[in-house]
Amino acid sequence: MREGWGVARVVQELLLAKPVLLAALGMGVVNYSALARALRGEVERRLGREVSEASVKVALIRFRERLSRSIAEESVLRVVAESSTTLIDDVGLVTLRASDPLALAPLLSGVRARLLQITQGVHTLTIVTDSEVLEGLLRKVDPKLVEAVYRDQAAVILVSPREIITTPGVMAYLTTLLAVNGINITQVISTHTDTLFILGRQEAVEAYYLLRRAIDEARRAVREEQDPSRAMLSGA
Give the pLDDT score at 121.
84
Give the pLDDT score at 70.
61
- What distance in Å separates the CA atoms of residue 137 and residue 91, rounded to the nearest whole number? 13
Domain 79-224 bears CATH identifier 3.30.2130.10? yes
φ, ψ for residue 193, nearest 5 deg: -100, 5
Give the pLDDT score at 177.
85
Residue 170 and residue 123 in contact, taking contact as beta carbons nearer than 8 Å: no
Give the pLDDT score at 99.
66
Show Cβ contacts of residue 127 under 8 Å, excluding neighbours closer than 6 positions.
93, 94, 95, 96, 104, 116, 117, 118, 134, 137
Per-residue pLDDT of the chain (236 residues), as tens digits, is 444 469 999 998 888 777 678 777 877 788 999 999 999 999 999 999 999 999 999 999 998 887 766 655 678 889 999 999 999 999 999 999 876 777 777 877 788 889 999 888 888 889 999 999 999 999 988 899 999 999 999 999 999 999 999 988 888 889 888 987 889 999 999 989 999 999 999 999 999 999 999 999 989 988 887 765 654 445 54
Q: What residue segments make up the domains of the chain, in order of their start?
A: 7-72, 79-224
Residue 11 and residue 64 in contact, taking contact as beta carbons nearer than 8 Å: no
- What distance in Å separates the CA atoms of residue 48 and residue 42, rounded to the nearest whole number? 10
Give the pLDDT score at 2.
47
Show Cβ contacts of residue 48 under 8 Å, excluding neighbours closer than 6 positions.
1, 2
